[in-house]
A and B are shown apart, each in its own frame.
Chain A
């Protein structure tokens, strides 16, 4: 059993107050009697068993002390390690721009319709699903992060109002993807009155959009997966799920293309709310595949495009080494396709470090493991150019476009226990305090490395909404399987530097035309895009394929880096549920116990009279 807030044990000191009140309590009546001789005989006769009689006499006091101790335990928030089933994450994005305050024909505001739609959507989800709630106003805000409490989400939904400003849907959706990446089985649902104007708008890629205000047909790709045929390993089979989420029927055309080849098309007719699955046999082998659905009446074309590849998905293995690793582990476990485990400092075996990503919490290993590494408030590390930590005495400033601070308000994560470091030459500053860094990241010795100076285990930090968002950002940036850093721009004629996995010794880049270029580590690997399409990056350890990543490049579209094998598409219903070791909160049971103790104490005090 662990304790989320061990400092709350200090509340047990109230037992001293209870004892003091007991000892100093006013006597209600003082009665002088001739002698206590017979009274003592009476009490002796009633108290045959001494300790039992003592318990009976002091039952009220004991119950009061016990109640105080149990309340302290409740406040300390005990947790028990247990295996829990986590469903795929869901992120709700509520458009709260000014237009959402408009009323349609029935007189109801669009924000009301959106709230109702969102509430219905939340209620339709399985219990295991973790829900995040984000508002897309001028400043996107995370109201709830990865919570299973439906009541909390409903309450938060009911409090959402339209703002008198424009909505930053792009930032909000980016935040939502960090919490429920559709490429990894999560669901991002947007409730808005503004369907995207262009189908190719990458902002809405993979987002399940619910448009309120006017009914309209909405044809979308529900999922797109490719797999090798069982009877012919050279042939590829594509499975496309198409659905019409709108309120009117539509005629659509589904096109699937392999690499840069000519697309294969099918025409279908979808009634409102209908769903259809199409199987495209005998697709040629290609590094990447594209599926598209076209419908003339479709009011929301942004969810009509999806990519897929044949590579198997890679699970990111994360190890957190420290004395209080569980809050970080839980945040990491909530990130799709991440397997996180905690290791005590004493149990860390440097020689057998095989994870892809390490978080060292207040602990400095002798050697850097061949993986990405995040150091939380480390001591001085001369090998990395880190000096001794110094207390942060002023408010930090955030660097714009920091990949680690996406969708996070810096003011939320400042505390008195923050420390700063001189900026090492390999690092870029994310948060600065004067000339020093509170948060920095970079690549050193071929490893993505970040240094965190703020407290990630302090009171209330782990419950803050930014906490899972921050660790999701960290994972997205530090994922060693992603050769192209998250958010990197691709432009023809500007080779992009690839960062291979620290264990990879060879990198092969294949362009949409099938031409491959190999790089041997430590030779710098680059990706040079020339034509639109899917570029494939393979990383090898010896002759073994370690990871395969598809990188789509389309001029005019933002580049999406998709880990190998993941299918991307609107409302991708890939089951990414996972069983994880998680801490189960025990405080509700203890709270009930404390309440029962108080009630029993009250009953004994008022109903049962006896010799004390």
Chain B
């Protein structure tokens, strides 16, 4: 299940060399500054101390005299200082739903979510963004402390690889707990099947925290298009409770309609809160998800 790469055992969901090569030219999109003026890998609309020249302005007392442009002073006998662009550090929050329902599907929805987050994490670390992460179950699970630089790629993959689906979904409680850690806001990517009534509240809570949120809604074909034609007892993978149904055409049509209504409701909810909503299926190729769909939705550029 793992491949050897540069002497490190990588999990199966980790992006392979070909995908990494394609991702090298991409980075996560942040549409607004988040105010973290540390040395980072991306330009900011704020000015700062990087090498990139932006403009000149008149000298004011207190300005760094090393920034005085002596050539202009020689020509005009006035003091001007050079204004340079600032380079911002973007914090990317990778949030993985590890509730029991993520185990279903072929392949499991958790595997698909791990693969997507791994690709995004690799892209972020390669872009010198800061990556933080957390596993969201019934409550806040294991966390991945904010790290910057490609040196932490393996540790990020190991963090993702350790996650196993279990327990009930408590997205809202888990997100609230994550927000309480007071990490800098940035881009938050939530990969979940959202099979919980409080899922919209959790998304809203992330957006309210100041994150630019992308929701990757992971579903599987069996869930979306169930195919049974007789009496079955459906058992909830998380709670264990049962529901007896007779799978006739009318019921399955009504179910598919309910799925459509549910995803439409989620999409509208996300749109109202400027959250990117990216529905995917667990059996889709990760390259297609990352390189095409996430780019189409503006998460990667």
CB distance from A605 to the nearest CB of B (A): 10
**The one of A40, A41, A612 that contacts B246, using a Cβ cutoff of 8 Å:** A612
Is A610 in contact with B246, judged by CB distance below 8 angstroms?
yes
Is A39 in contact with B234, judged by CB distance below 8 angstroms?
yes
B64 close to chain A: CB less than 8 A: no
Is A34 in contact with B254, judged by CB distance below 8 angstroms?
no
Query: In the complex, what residue of chain A is closest to B246 when comparing beta carbons?
Result: A609
B197 close to chain A: CB less than 8 A: yes
Is B228 in contact with A27, judged by CB distance below 8 angstroms?
no
Within 8 Å CB of A27, what residues of B?
231-233, 244
Within 8 Å CB of B233, what residues of A?
27, 29-31
CB distance from A42 to the nearest CB of B (A): 4
Within 8 Å CB of B102, what residues of A?
34
Give CA–CA (A28, B103) in the complex, Å: 24
B238 close to chain A: CB less than 8 A: yes
A24 close to chain B: CB less than 8 A: no
Is B246 in contact with A34, judged by CB distance below 8 angstroms?
no
B230 close to chain A: CB less than 8 A: yes
| 327-368 of chain A: CB within 8 A of chain B | none
| 155-171 of chain B: CB within 8 A of chain A | 169
Give CA–CA (A609, B249) in the complex, Å: 8
B223 close to chain A: CB less than 8 A: yes
Is B250 in contact with A609, judged by CB distance below 8 angstroms?
yes
B251 close to chain A: CB less than 8 A: yes
Give CA–CA (A612, B246) in the complex, Å: 7
| 217-247 of chain B: CB within 8 A of chain A | 220, 223, 226, 228, 230-239, 241, 243-247
B contact face: mostly helix, strand, loop, or mixed: mixed
Is B251 in contact with A36, judged by CB distance below 8 angstroms?
no
B248 close to chain A: CB less than 8 A: yes
Within 8 Å CB of B235, what residues of A?
30-33
Is B262 in contact with A40, judged by CB distance below 8 angstroms?
no
When A29-B232, A31-B232, A33-B104 are in contact, do A42 and B193 touch as well, CB less than 8 Å? no
Is A611 in contact with B234, judged by CB distance below 8 angstroms?
no
Q: B-facing mask of A571-612, CB < 8 A → 1, else 0? A: 000000000000000000000000000000000000001111
A80 close to chain B: CB less than 8 A: no
Is B254 in contact with A45, judged by CB distance below 8 angstroms?
yes
B258 close to chain A: CB less than 8 A: yes
A38 close to chain B: CB less than 8 A: yes
A494 close to chain B: CB less than 8 A: no
Is B232 in contact with A611, judged by CB distance below 8 angstroms?
no
Query: In the complex, what residue of chain A is closest to B244 when comparing beta carbons?
Result: A612
Is A38 in contact with B246, judged by CB distance below 8 angstroms?
no
A37 close to chain B: CB less than 8 A: yes
Give CA–CA (A30, B102) in the complex, Å: 19
Within 8 Å CB of B169, what residues of A?
35
Give CA–CA (A39, B256) in the complex, Å: 10
Is A39 in contact with B243, judged by CB distance below 8 angstroms?
yes
Give CA–CA (A41, B254) in the complex, Å: 10
A108 close to chain B: CB less than 8 A: no
Is A610 in contact with B234, judged by CB distance below 8 angstroms?
no
Is A38 in contact with B259, judged by CB distance below 8 angstroms?
yes
When A42-B255, A45-B254, A45-B258 are in contact, do A34 and B104 touch as well, CB less than 8 Å? yes
When A31-B232, A35-B237, A42-B251 are in contact, do A611 and B220 touch as well, CB less than 8 Å? no
Give CA–CA (A36, B251) in the complex, Å: 14
Is A33 in contact with B228, judged by CB distance below 8 angstroms?
no
Give CA–CA (A609, B104) in the complex, Å: 27
Give CA–CA (A39, B239) in the complex, Å: 14
Is A611 in contact with B236, judged by CB distance below 8 angstroms?
no
When A29-B232, A29-B233 are in contact, do A35 and B251 touch as well, CB less than 8 Å? no
Is A35 in contact with B228, judged by CB distance below 8 angstroms?
no
Q: A-facing mask of B78-117, CB < 8 A → 1, else 0? A: 0000000000000000000000011111000100000000
A46 close to chain B: CB less than 8 A: yes
Is B245 in contact with A33, judged by CB distance below 8 angstroms?
no
**The one of A35, A37, A38, A609 that contacts B248, using a Cβ cutoff of 8 Å:** A609
Q: A-facing mask of B172-197, CB < 8 A → 1, else 0? A: 00000000000000000000010111
Is A28 in contact with B231, judged by CB distance below 8 angstroms?
yes
Query: In the complex, what residue of chain A is closest to B233 when comparing beta carbons?
Result: A27
Query: In the complex, what residue of chain B is closest to A35 when comparing beta carbons?
Result: B195
Give CA–CA (A43, B257) in the complex, Å: 12
Within 8 Å CB of A610, what residues of B?
246, 248, 250-251
Within 8 Å CB of B220, what residues of A?
34
Give CA–CA (A43, B258) in the complex, Å: 10
**The one of B223, B244, B245 that contacts A34, using a Cβ cutoff of 8 Å:** B223
Give CA–CA (A39, B255) in the complex, Å: 7
CB distance from A348 to the nearest CB of B (A): 59
Is B101 in contact with A28, judged by CB distance below 8 angstroms?
no
| 22-51 of chain B: CB within 8 A of chain A | none
CB distance from B203 to the nearest CB of A (A): 16
Give CA–CA (A31, B236) in the complex, Å: 9
Query: In the complex, what residue of chain A is closest to B232 when comparing beta carbons?
Result: A29
**The one of B197, B226, B239, B245 that contacts A611, using a Cβ cutoff of 8 Å:** B245
Query: Can you show 11 pairs from A to B with CB atoms below 8 A apart?
Result: A28-B231, A29-B228, A31-B235, A34-B103, A34-B195, A38-B259, A41-B258, A45-B258, A609-B250, A610-B248, A612-B246
- Which 7 A-B residue pairings sit nearest by Cβ, starting from the closest? A609-B248, A35-B195, A34-B101, A34-B104, A609-B246, A29-B232, A42-B258
Q: A38-B258, A41-B258 are in contact. List 18 more A-B contacts (CB 8 A).
A: A27-B233, A29-B231, A31-B235, A32-B235, A33-B235, A33-B237, A34-B102, A34-B195, A34-B223, A35-B101, A36-B241, A37-B196, A38-B262, A41-B262, A609-B246, A609-B249, A612-B244, A612-B246
